[in-house]
Amino acid sequence: MKKITLSILMLLIISSTMLFASGSNEKNEADTENKEESTMAIYHEIEAPSVKQMLDDKEEFYFIDVRTPEEYEFSHIPGAVNIPLDVISSKAAESFDSKDSMIVVYCRSGARSRVAAKELVSLGYTKVYDLGGIISWPYEVTK
């Protein structure tokens, strides 16, 4: 009887130790992920009416079309400057006054602007906004 009791006690100790170790490891992994997310800078999405109001109010911000020069020449949102996605990282320092400058990016559908926004954030820019695509812009465009 003592052997059975001792065996059960040992089994309980081993099981609880394994459960504690497993839970602790999961918690540490979750803590690490949360710390990484909280220290990562992020960009924000912005809606067309907000950008239109900013343009109408002549607010100071950089409005960047990240499409190709050919796409930009074909049509673009008035007030936007063309800095193609493939050169935005190398042109950022000479294009923007400071890392705290407000920057709004857009492309055709939103895919390239999302990449551009992430690149700018990775370079240390703190006020980056993604408008998405010109195809969703309900206002006038320059042709």
Query: Is residue 72 one of the residues assigned to a domain?
Result: yes
> Which member of 88, 107, 116, 117 is catalytic?
107
Q: Note the pLDDT tens digit of each residue in 111-143.
A: 999 999 999 999 999 999 999 999 999 999 998
The pTM of the full predicted model, rounded to 2 decimals, is 0.72
Query: Is residue 142 one of the residues assigned to a domain?
Result: no
Q: What is the pLDDT of residue 2?
A: 55
Same domain membership, residue 93 and residue 36: no
Same domain membership, residue 85 and residue 36: no
Same domain membership, residue 123 and residue 76: yes
Per-residue pLDDT averaged across 77-91, rounded? 97
Same domain membership, residue 71 and residue 112: yes
What is the number of structural domains in the chain?
2
Domain that residue 122 falls in: 44-136
Q: Reply yes or no on whether the pLDDT at 82 is more than 50.
A: yes
Does the annotation count 107 as an active-site position? yes
Same domain membership, residue 68 and residue 3: no
Q: How far is CA 100 from CA 2, 16, 63, 80, 119, in A?
A: 72, 51, 14, 19, 15
